[in-house]
Structure 1
Amino acid sequence: MQGKPSWALALGAALAWLPLAAQATPATDDEVERLVDQAFARYALPGMAVGVIQDGQVVHIATRGKLAIDGDRAVDADSLFKIASNTKAMTGAVLARLVQAGKLAWDDPVIKHLPQFAMHDAWVTGHMQVRDLLIHNSGLGLGAGDLMLWPEPNDFDRADIIAGLAHLKPVSSFRAGYAYDNLLYVVAGEVAAAAAGKPFNQLLREEIFVPLGMTRCQAGDWSPATVGNVAQPHYRSGGTHVVGRRDGDWEADFPSMAAGGVRCSLNDMLRWSQVLLDPSVVPGWLDATQRRALWTAHMPMPISQRLRDWDNSHFYAYGYGWRLSDMDGQWKVAHTGTLSGMYSSLALLPDSRNGVVILINGAGEAARTTLMQALLKRWTQPGAGLDVAHYADQLDAEAGQARAAGRSRPDTAAAKAVSGRYLPAAQGLYRDPWFGQVRLCPQQGQLQWQSEKSPRMQAQVKQLDGRLLLDWQQLGEDADAWLQLQPDAVGVWQMQLSAIDPDIDFSYDYPDLAFTRIADCP
């Protein structure tokens, strides 16, 4: 299939702009504070920053908690957070600026700018366009290859990521449907860099941060010690939040930058939102054609039952770095971000120039979901009294139903460490075509699993009810994996991983790993 499918053109034309719905005056600042307090307390968050925009103006800012739960510095509106996949909208905007400047076109073949780019299928390689990199239609599985991006930091670079794509087998036809990916956003950043002749972090500064006045945002190499006021990530352990990997004095450029590597403050993200809602804030920054391109429905997405029940949604689609939907008859443009102990959420109601930004430095998926929903409902369903508690109770009910249906993480507390003498024939060095080499070798009398290029992926091998599992030493228990070892037809040992938790973050891309034993333990 060449070019943009006809259904995408029709859907984009029909849904790019929805009619203005009747608006109501939002609740008072006291109610915003109450909703923020509800989320902060219910989920025992380490820190958060929330901003509300009405009619294009910032009308309320609320901050809670600390940069690090074991420290003294309070979160404020200038504190830096990882915005994670909210970076994707910035990557789309950089490309839009380059299209506007005539340095590339949305329908340029990717190989025009990156001749080394290759997918598993040669036809897809030749026909993938710049626009395809942004809309999750590649045919790859959900989160394919994400283990080259995180857990961070690791030793994969962008050349490794581009080379690894050729080894990732598609699970559907190119442009046939939606499956969220991150690797192709890394490719998109490299396309932008090649077209402009500048590193992507420089493009972010020149095309977005500087002209829009986002003075605290950081990308590429930077010094947290010099910049200061940086929120630290947190994970849940034993029912409470603990600080995860702390920033050092210097943070190196991460390969995932274009997919999710930017850090910004609440003030920065509110400024970003204002510019998107109102072109007159920074005249000429992005013309009407490119603004429309960013928020056009390029790829239909499945509508979940929750989206139907909560928002009365009738369409759901992906733009260039944005999710587009209808919420109680109003047009909604939004995205979320999740990365290494931080959560972000940004949602806009463009027709009324209203919006909300939420930044959290802990395990905050449910908190951002419930708080964003409650804050937006003040405009889309005023007077309904749908607060954080209402939505939190619904999420708890969903979780209970999942447990009753057997869709919950099994209890692995009784798992026992495996001796270093276990199954000696299977021990050794293994290699996967895109992830690289791992060790399955004895260490201090016990069998250990360790990645060569992703050092935080180090696990103790344990056994539970006759099954082997990997108990990660530096990752949350939600990431734990079953380990399968089996010789092939000629006696060469093969290794595969699968998730223990059925609701695991899809970026733990275990299904695409296929390890073959290549050598003995050193």
Structure 2
Amino acid sequence: MSMPTLKTAASALALMASCMAVPAYAQSGDAPAIVQPDDWSLVQRDGLSIVTAPEGNLDIAVVDVGPADDALAAANAAWQVYAPNAQRTVELTTPAASENGWDQRVSISYATSPSEQATVNALALRQGEAWTVVIVNGAQSTANIRSAAVSLARDSVQAEGYEPEDFSDRTAHRLTPERIALLRDFVAEAAETLDVPGVGLALIDQGEVVFEGGVGVRSLNDPAPVDADTRFMIASNTKGMSTLLLSILVDQGQLDWDQQVVELYPSFRLGSDSTTNGTLVRHLLCACTGLPRKDWGFILADQDTPASDVFRQLSETAPTSAFGELFQYNNNMAAAAGYVGGALAYPDMEIGAAYDRAMDELIFQPLDMTDTTFDFAAGETGNWAPPHGLDVDGNQTVMSNHFNRGVYPYRPAGGAFSTASDMAHYVQLELSRGLTPDGARLVSEENLLARRERGVQVAESVWYGMGLFDEEHWGVPVVTHGGTLLGYHSNWYALPEAGVGAVILTNADTGAVMLRPFLRRLVEVLYDGHPEAMSQVEAAAARLDAQSQVRRQGLDIPGDPAVLEGLAAAYESPGIGTIAIFQNDGQTWIEAGSIRAPLATRSNPDGTVSIVSVGPGAISLEAEVGTQDGRRTLTLRDSQHVYQYTETD
């Protein structure tokens, strides 16, 4: 896709600002109200509103159904209005937490085949006896590219008369011991409900750390308790620190946010020459350059990949939308930003080592983050919390950290180990606008805050800056970022107007769904909000349990012998890597980059068959079995990419 070249700061900022306009509600006659995102088309008639993406292959339909026996009956009735000839099989039905004024919310997903690359789901909403159903139906690639618009439109469907809580005119309470106890008790209850073994927690109020410690144990195999100094992998929370490194280098005069990347790192390339020359430093960090996620590119790569491979991968990637048009989160761009910073700080070193040294000397040491490291050997020893994930039967299991080693070549985007105590020091810096906990100026206020300037919109009242999210919930401004790796999920929050911050680190995949409820509970405690957080956790726990059961029921374990025996021993995809199929203790296993696990098989709705890795954890490899030109193939897909592997001789 062609795109304009950005040669000046003014044009870059103009494009970034263009996507900040808030779409208006669309409503006509008796059609339901929905936000119509910019550039989306709208069709309305009695009882039905449909917004369609510019690509023409993704709809969000809102149907006022009226009374129905239950959520499934309401959804079936909605499909009859929206697409009466559609034939879809319900795969999963789960309760969702009540919000936006609805008395009941139920999520429904429908079965699709991998080759369809389709997104098909419904959200049934009840107010009193009347149901409204939101259907998302269409291309997975478009849903991914336009995720912000999808969130805006879907979340705009609110119950009649609903008025969200607004704390903008209230003064936050201080985090007294009693209120700290409420937060710690919530974390403990949520961890128990979600079967999370351990949680690191820190709370900051008016510049001081008022609590740091932990809940639970480091590992199901080790009763040692989590404390403030227990190391977790913090994943993409690393991004904000990498952008902090660049802020310091801007202060030092070594770069400018609106400087061309090729001026600083001449070997940098991104697609075409015009795109390369138009890429400014800020674009490496803004998630606004039209580059889709390409995480499977490094998941499938060999783990000894050098840091420089980040730049090779970017040179072979082209944006799918114009700069500043859409939110698309790309880890390779963030990794490149960190490595450019390292190369400027220590130009005579290998870029990975230069980045590690720059982060240690310019950020970790000044902030007294003594337990924060990119070194896996150091991170995985002593007081550390190993990752946990659900096995194929839904049981919480201690996992190897092998998979997460695959992030090391891309570590500026998410490869650090840290602790609740160390992360509290970082959040103190964010709240103090650039001062270390002992009051020294580490970075100018101007360049610290530049990272928070609102760029592309992500969802309603959520924007991405440069490695940070700037959000507003219930009238409360929040600066934040989260992190996700296999078995590790975490977040930090800074509430600048309240002078309050928090860090929450978990060592289980199920911990992911306690992070947003934790923010809700923090706001409830600070502003005496309605108690909703725990109901969100309970709904998430029910959803996880249902998802686990459906996943298990859809798999043939240990796999169809005819399919497994028909696999080649080795496959290869040029520029990506290799796949090995082998026997291990009488089971058929797969090894592909960071994936190493036993295999199951699954029959797809379109008659194809897939092999599926069934090791513990939320990340699983699925490949469609096939042939091409007489050679056996495996085809892997994410929302915007297809990875084709062919058997080797």
Q: In structure 2, which of residues 357, 361, 370 is the aligned counterpart of residue 202 of structure 1?
A: 357
Between the aligned partners of 1:190 and 1:184, the Cα distance in structure 2 is 10
Partner SS for 2:482:
strand
Aligned to 1:182: 331
Supply the AA of the counterpart residue of 1:343. Answer: H
**Whose RCO is larger (CA < 8 A, sep 6+)?**
1
What is the CA-CA distance between 1:517 and the residue it aligns to? 2.8
Aligned to 1:161: 310
1:32 aligns with 2:183: yes
1:261 aligns with 2:415: yes
Between the aligned partners of 2:252 and 2:399, the Cα distance in structure 1 is 42
Between the aligned partners of 1:188 and 1:253, the Cα distance in structure 2 is 15
Between the aligned partners of 2:345 and 2:279, the Cα distance in structure 1 is 20
Contact 1:345 1:372 (8 Å CA) reproduced: no
Change (3 A) 1:516 1:69: closer
Between the aligned partners of 1:438 and 1:153, the Cα distance in structure 2 is 10
1:513 aligns with 2:646: no
TM-score (norm 2): 0.66
Supply the AA of the counterpart residue of 2:519. Answer: M
Contact 1:449 1:461 (8 Å CA) reproduced: no
What is the CA-CA distance between 1:239 and the residue it aligns to? 3.2
What is the CA-CA distance between 1:479 and the residue it aligns to? 1.6
Supply the AA of the counterpart residue of 1:55. Answer: Q
Aligned to 2:85: none
Partner SS for 2:256:
coil
1:95-494 equivalences in 2 (<5 Å) = 95-141=246-292, 143-144=293-294, 146-150=295-299, 154-197=303-346, 199-220=354-375, 222-224=377-379, 228-237=382-391, 238-246=393-401, 254-278=408-432, 279-280=434-435, 281=437, 282-303=439-460, 315-363=461-509, 364-379=511-526, 381-386=527-532, 388-395=533-540, 409=551, 411-414=553-556, 417-419=559-561, 427=568, 429-439=570-580, 449-451=590-592, 454-457=593-596, 460=599, 462-464=601-603, 466-472=607-613, 474=615, 476=617, 479-487=620-628
Between the aligned partners of 1:493 and 1:510, the Cα distance in structure 2 is 23
Contact 1:342 1:362 (8 Å CA) reproduced: yes
Contact 1:84 1:261 (8 Å CA) reproduced: yes
Change (3 A) 1:415 1:459: closer
Change (3 A) 1:164 1:458: farther
What is the CA-CA distance between 1:98 and the residue it aligns to? 0.6
Deviation per residue, 1:363-422 (Å, 9 max, x gap): 21112222232123322x424233x4222245468779x98xxxx757323356354787
* Larger gyration radius, structure 1 or structure 2: 2
Contact 1:109 1:129 (8 Å CA) reproduced: yes
Change (3 A) 1:496 1:120: farther
What is the CA-CA distance between 1:430 and the residue it aligns to? 4.0
Supply the AA of the counterpart residue of 2:388. Answer: H
Contact 1:430 1:438 (8 Å CA) reproduced: yes
Between 196-205 and 163-172, the greater mean CA deviation after superposition: 163-172
What is the CA-CA distance between 1:174 and the residue it aligns to? 3.5
What is the CA-CA distance between 1:50 and the residue it aligns to? 1.4
**Percent of residue pairs identical:** 23
Deviation per residue, 1:334-354 (Å, 9 max, x gap): 111111211111111112211
Between the aligned partners of 1:140 and 1:220, the Cα distance in structure 2 is 29
Partner SS for 1:105:
coil
What is the CA-CA distance between 1:240 and the residue it aligns to? 3.0
Between 163-172 and 101-110, the greater mean CA deviation after superposition: 163-172
Partner SS for 1:376:
helix
Between the aligned partners of 2:457 and 2:444, the Cα distance in structure 1 is 25
Supply the AA of the counterpart residue of 1:269. Answer: M
Contact 1:151 1:457 (8 Å CA) reproduced: no
Partner SS for 2:430:
helix
Contact 1:345 1:357 (8 Å CA) reproduced: yes
Change (3 A) 1:87 1:64: same
Between the aligned partners of 2:227 and 2:302, the Cα distance in structure 1 is 26
Between the aligned partners of 2:536 and 2:429, the Cα distance in structure 1 is 30
Partner SS for 2:595:
coil
Deviation per residue, 1:99-152 (Å, 9 max, x gap): 1101111122222233332223332222111111111122222x21x1344489
What is the CA-CA distance between 1:9 and the residue it aligns to? 5.0
Partner SS for 1:297:
coil
Contact 2:233 2:415 (8 Å CA) reproduced: yes
RMSD over aligned Cα, in angstroms? 3.5
Contact 2:232 2:384 (8 Å CA) reproduced: yes
Supply the AA of the counterpart residue of 2:478. Answer: K
Ranges in structure 2 where 5+ consecutive residues have no aligned partner: 23-166
Between 48-57 and 127-136, the greater mean CA deviation after superposition: 48-57
Partner SS for 2:223:
coil
Partner SS for 2:224:
coil
Between the aligned partners of 2:19 and 2:247, the Cα distance in structure 1 is 20
- How many residue pairs get aligned? The number is 478
What is the CA-CA distance between 1:12 and the residue it aligns to? 8.8
Contact 1:52 1:356 (8 Å CA) reproduced: yes
What is the CA-CA distance between 1:205 and the residue it aligns to? 0.9
Supply the AA of the counterpart residue of 2:296. Answer: L
Deviation per residue, 1:13-69 (Å, 9 max, x gap): 99xxxx975313156233123212221211121111112222222223341111111
Deviation per residue, 1:288-323 (Å, 9 max, x gap): 2102202111222233xxxxxxxxxxx211112111
Contact 1:420 1:443 (8 Å CA) reproduced: no
Contact 2:555 2:600 (8 Å CA) reproduced: no
Between the aligned partners of 2:361 and 2:257, the Cα distance in structure 1 is 20
Select the structure that is richer in strand. Answer: 2
Between the aligned partners of 2:564 and 2:212, the Cα distance in structure 1 is 57
Aligned to 2:152: none
